[in-house]
């Protein structure tokens, strides 16, 4: 098989071009013999940097990847990916997922690469890299950087992210001071690696393995562990073999693999960001995947993983208890994994590689017959408020249920008075304003927080009740919004509403004082006003110029806003999805 890199480095019919391509790649020490040897050239898409601390340990791990590539007879070219740091990037890291995607598509297609190792980790890095691999479709394998070690504060497990949500409430109630709050945050992050809770990072790394894109058992190994370096070496070796086998992302990330991943997501208590990202990856592969699929395949699956925010433990415990292999084995044992025959980057089917994986601690990973919670997946709500929004019903607390879902004639529905905020700034400025008259039967609504409105989609929907209610022991009000929610928050919000207010979805038309009705049984969410009244509000808002949101601050904000799709469609760049399997369908790029 002729490798695509040979078009650059070993084309005797075009010595002029070959000389140009070869010359500069020799200048740091490669020899012509190496580059013309016909060995696969493997990229390491490096997401770690000082700006991306969650993935920074990949700088170290890449050395072991490189060793593996060379040991298997490959040549390694490591290159940087546009940084995406969940906690550092303003206005939101989600703004940059599609930017990193675009950059990586150009890199994978336009350079002499035969295969690539995707260094995944922090929330948006995983989907960005998998999306690009899907579009270009050269052999690709993902390598998780691994979670941080367990965090502890005053002897108790303190999970990154989750501790911030708790700390904010404790600070608001006056139980801790500023310094202790900062100390709690620091203690939750004791080592290199990504979030040690089951937030979006642990979720997406777990799902990268569930999709078949990582070596078995790779997802959960903590970043500092010996095995993390060892699996990096194995990953480097395996990608060289994959190039020889021509095993491509489209062979691994099939519809069957996505159905498996949805089931795994429920069993691990995965983040509400997962549907956005998996729907996006699927679209770049030309596969149909919708939020209806998430409800259909995922909602009934129980929660097996006792990890914060839904449970008590952290990622290091999850790894020691068996990680994703144990989850797969438990799901297959119960006969609920839809497609055990799906093939992974190992070249083998799920049924073979995970069949004998064992649960080493039954409190951390529950047996299917004794789960932490039933029905841990999402419901997909629809109505005049939005066409699609998801809710994780399993995190509804007993207190919440008693307050809102206690009507015996109507046990799955609740109604409340809408309190509407245009963006998180207005929420913070006015939440404690007595004029809003917020009581325990209100529903907090936030809008202007979606892919266009924010821009990028902000993690702001899980809004804290006003201080007066918190002091009375009301810890949560129902929240609805066209933004997202951090995967490290356990709040039962209605999220990712699409279309967003900025795209003139129903949320743009809600007014303070409207009655909202959410029915979990029939999956509906509505403003209780007539269709005529709704149409009149829409016409009035359109006449006033539509829903207003802040002006663009950078070129990318403006460009993305003009072409981005909604959350239920994966928040992809609309023009990008028609480019599929580019390495096969578009031929080689023209000479430079």
**Interface residue list for ligand FES (CB under 6 A):** 54, 86-87, 122-123, 194-195, 199, 201
The DSSP bridge partners found for residue 534 are: none
Residue 271 as a binder of Mg ion (CB under 5 A): the answer is no
With contact defined as beta carbons under 8 Å apart, do 42 and 114 qualify? yes
Q: How near is the Cβ of 306 to ligand FES at its closest, in Å? A: 20
| Contact in structure between 279 and 127 (CB atoms under 8 Å) | no
- Cα distance between residue 286 and residue 531, in whole Å: 36
Secondary structure (DSSP) of 471-535: HTT-----EEESSB--TT-----EEEEES-GGGT-GGGG--TT-EEEEETTTTEEEESS-HHHHH
Contact 353, 332 (CB under 8 A): no
Q: Which is nearer to ligand FES, 86 or 514 (CB)?
A: 86
Q: Which of 486, 557, 566, 580 binds Mg ion (CB under 5 A)?
A: 486
By beta-carbon proximity to ligand FES, the closer residue of 40 and 224 is: 224
Q: What x-and-dash track marks residues 77-106 binding Mg ion by CB under 5 A?
A: ---------x--------------------
Looking at beta carbons only, is 94 or 215 nearer to Mg ion? Answer: 94
User: To the nearest whole angstrom, how small is the minimum distance from the Cβ of residue 459 to Mg ion?
Assistant: 5
Least Å distance, CB 206 to ligand FES, is 13
Rounded to a whole number of angstroms, the minimum distance from the CB of residue 541 to ligand FES is 36
Does residue number 205 form part of the binding site for Mg ion (CB under 5 A)? Answer: no
Total of residues contacting Mg ion (CB under 5 A): 5
Which residues touch 284 (CB under 8 Å, ≥6 apart)?
Answer: 131, 134, 135, 572, 576, 577, 580
Stretch that binds Mg ion, among 180-188, 339-347, 484-492, 568-576 (CB under 5 A): 484-492
Q: For residues 333 and 314, what is the distance between their CA atoms, to the nearest angstrom?
A: 24
Instruction: Report the partner that residue 486 touches, choosing among ligand FES, Mg ion, none (CB closer than 5 to 8 A by kind).
Output: Mg ion
Cis upstream peptide for 105 (omega within 30°): no
Which residue, 18 or 462, has its beta carbon nearer to ligand FES? 462
Which CB sits closer to Mg ion, 161 or 325?
161
Between CA 506 and CA 420 the distance in angstroms is: 13
CA pseudo-torsion sign 91, 262, 202, 379: positive
Q: How far is the CB of 151 from ligand FES (least distance, A)?
A: 12
Element (H, E) at 443: strand 442-447
Q: Which does 188 bind (CB under 5 to 8 A by kind): Mg ion, ligand FES, none?
A: none
Closer residue to Mg ion in complex, CB, 198/285: 198
Provide CB contacts within 8 A for 367, sequence distance 6+: 304, 330, 359
Contact 233, 68 (CB under 8 A): yes
The smaller minimum CB distance to Mg ion, of residues 10 and 459, is found at 459
The least CB distance from residue 450 to Mg ion, in Å, is: 15
Which helix (DSSP H) or strand (DSSP E) does residue 118 occupy?
A: strand 115-120
CB of 204 to ligand FES, least distance (A): 9
Question: What residue is closest to Mg ion based on CB?
Answer: 486
Nearer to Mg ion, 6 or 485 (CB): 485
Binding residues (CB under 5 A) for Mg ion: these are 86, 123, 200, 459, 486
């Amino acid at each position: 098989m002729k490798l695509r890199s040979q078009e650059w480095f070993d084309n005797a019919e075009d010595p002029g071009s070959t000389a140009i391509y070869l010359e500069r790649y020799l200048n740091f020490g490669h020899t012509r013999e190496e580059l013309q040897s016909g060995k696969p050239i493997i990229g390491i898409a490096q997401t770690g940097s000082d700006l991306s601390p969650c993935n920074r340990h990949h700088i170290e791990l890449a050395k072991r990847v490189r060793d593996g590539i060379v040991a298997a007879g490959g040549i390694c070219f490591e290159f940087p990916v546009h940084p995406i740091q969940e906690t550092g990037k303003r206005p939101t890291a989600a703004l940059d997922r599609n930017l990193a995607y675009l950059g990586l598509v150009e890199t994978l297609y336009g350079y002499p690469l035969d295969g690539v190792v995707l260094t995944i980790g922090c929330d948006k890095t995983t989907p960005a890299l998998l999306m690009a691999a899907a579009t270009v479709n050269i052999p690709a394998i993902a390598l998780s950087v691994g979670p941080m070690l367990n965090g502890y504060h005053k002897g108790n497990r303190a999970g990154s992210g989750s501790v911030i949500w708790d700390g904010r409430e404790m600070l608001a109630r006056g139980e801790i001071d500023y310094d202790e709050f900062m100390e709690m945050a620091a203690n939750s992050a004791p080592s290199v690696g990504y979030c040690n809770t089951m937030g979006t990072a642990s979720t997406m790394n777990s799902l990268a393995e569930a999709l078949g894109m990582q070596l078995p058992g790779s997802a959960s190994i903590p970043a500092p562990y010996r095995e993390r370096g060892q699996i990096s070496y194995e990953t480097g070796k395996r990608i060289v073999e994959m190039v020889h086998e021509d095993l491509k992302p489209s062979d691994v990330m099939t519809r069957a693999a996505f159905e498996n991943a949805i089931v795994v997501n429920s069993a691990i208590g995965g983040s509400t960001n997962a549907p956005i990202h998996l729907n996006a990856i699927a679209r770049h592969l030309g596969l149909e995947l919708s939020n209806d699929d998430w409800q259909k395949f995922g909602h009934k699956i129980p929660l097996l993983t006792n990890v914060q925010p839904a449970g008590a433990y952290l990622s290091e415990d999850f790894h020691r208890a068996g990680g994703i292999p144990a989850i797969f084995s438990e799901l297959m044992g119960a006969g609920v994994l839809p497609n055990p025959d799906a093939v992974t980057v190992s070249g083998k089917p799920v049924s073979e590689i995970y069949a004998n994986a064992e649960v080493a601690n039954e409190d951390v990973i529950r047996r299917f017959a004794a789960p932490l919670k039933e029905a841990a997946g999402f419901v997909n709500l629809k109505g005049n408020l939005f066409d699609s929004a998801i809710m994780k019903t399993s995190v509804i607390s007993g207190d919440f249920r008693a307050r809102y879902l206690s009507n015996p004639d109507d046990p799955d529905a609740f109604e409340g008075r809408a309190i509407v905020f245009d963006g998180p700034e207005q929420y913070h400025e006015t939440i404690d304003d007595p004029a809003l008259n917020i009581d325990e039967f209100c529903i907090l609504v936030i809008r202007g927080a979606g892919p266009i409105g924010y821009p990028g989609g902000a993690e702001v929907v899980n809004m804290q009740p006003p201080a007066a209610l918190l002091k009375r022991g009301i810890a949560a009000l129902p929240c609805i919004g066209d933004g997202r929610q951090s995967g490290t928050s356990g709040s039962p919000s209605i999220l990712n509403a699409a279309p967003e207010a900025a795209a003139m979805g129903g949320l743009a038309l809600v007014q303070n004082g409207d009655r909202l009705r959410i029915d979990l049984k029939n999956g509906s969410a509505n403003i209780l006003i007539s269709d005529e009244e709704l149409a009149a509000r829409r016409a009035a808002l359109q006449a006033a110029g539509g829903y207003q949101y802040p002006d663009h601050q950078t070129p990318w904000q403006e460009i993305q806003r003009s072409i981005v799709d909604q959350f239920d469609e994966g928040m992809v760049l609309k023009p990008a999805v028609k480019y599929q399997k580019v390495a096969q369908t578009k031929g080689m790029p023209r000479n430079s």
